[in-house]
Amino acid sequence: MKIDCIKKTIAILAALTFGCAVAFAAPAPDSNSPAHRNRGPAAQRPDGGFLQELSEKLNLTDAQKAAIKPILATEANEIKAVHQDGSLSNEQKQAKVKEIRDNGREKINALLTPEQQKKFAEMKGEAGSRMREAFHDRLAMIAEKLNLTDEQKAAIKPILVTEVNDITAVMQDNSLSKEQRQTKIAGIREASDKKINTLLTPEQQAKWAQLKENAKQERNKKNAPGT
């Protein structure tokens, strides 16, 4: 039982701390895969990847795809402009990106049949559920393995909430490539871990470092050729 518990802990850390655990609305395709290289230039753009996903899951008609494509292109351009606006704080950027995203989803929804709208809502609901589960799993794992006090849990919770919101924004940003998403998410995770680390005792910090190292080794094993 103890070994199973340790394996579960490593698996959670590997997924939540070091990887892109949440495949949200528009995961970018592998640009090095033969299937990706053989697709057209439009499909290789981030918005093209999301359009492909929508087409497959909602069974879009050619007319619907043609109408949705410019919506996603405009969305990506507007989000890119927000990220490049140095006059905005991170919070303001997140709010504007959310507004752009919501507007885009409303326009797409208006082009769908009632049955497609239901599936589209389910897609968004499933993504939100994965994010909430990831948050609760991460908080519960940290609390259990590091024996956090109530004060520590109360201080760490908003850090993880911010982490979830930031990662959500990155995963929904169709202007980013797969590599850019991974880099940004890794930076978000690292920033969160640093903040959490400052709230821990020296003994807890040592345990936290060991858990992350174990998770990293486990991830490297899974990613090694031939495994």
User: Which residue did the predictor score with more confidence, 216 or 15?
Assistant: 216
pLDDT at 205: 94
To which residue do tokens 């082009």 refer?
Answer: 111
User: Which residue did the predictor score with more confidence, 161 or 202?
Assistant: 202
To which residue do tokens 């070994």 refer?
Answer: 3
Q: How many CA atoms lie within 13 A of 48 on its CB side?
A: 11
Q: How many CB atoms lie within 10 A of CB 25?
A: 17
Round to whole Å and give the CA distance between 176 and 180.
6
pLDDT at 32: 39
pLDDT at 214: 85
Decide: pTM greater than 0.75.
no
Question: Is residue 69 within 8 Å of residue 41, measured between CB atoms?
Answer: no
- The domain limits of the chain are 2-223
Question: Is residue 31 within 8 Å of residue 177, measured between CB atoms?
Answer: yes
pLDDT at 122: 84
Give residue 66's pLDDT band: very low, low, confident or very high (50, 70, 90).
very high
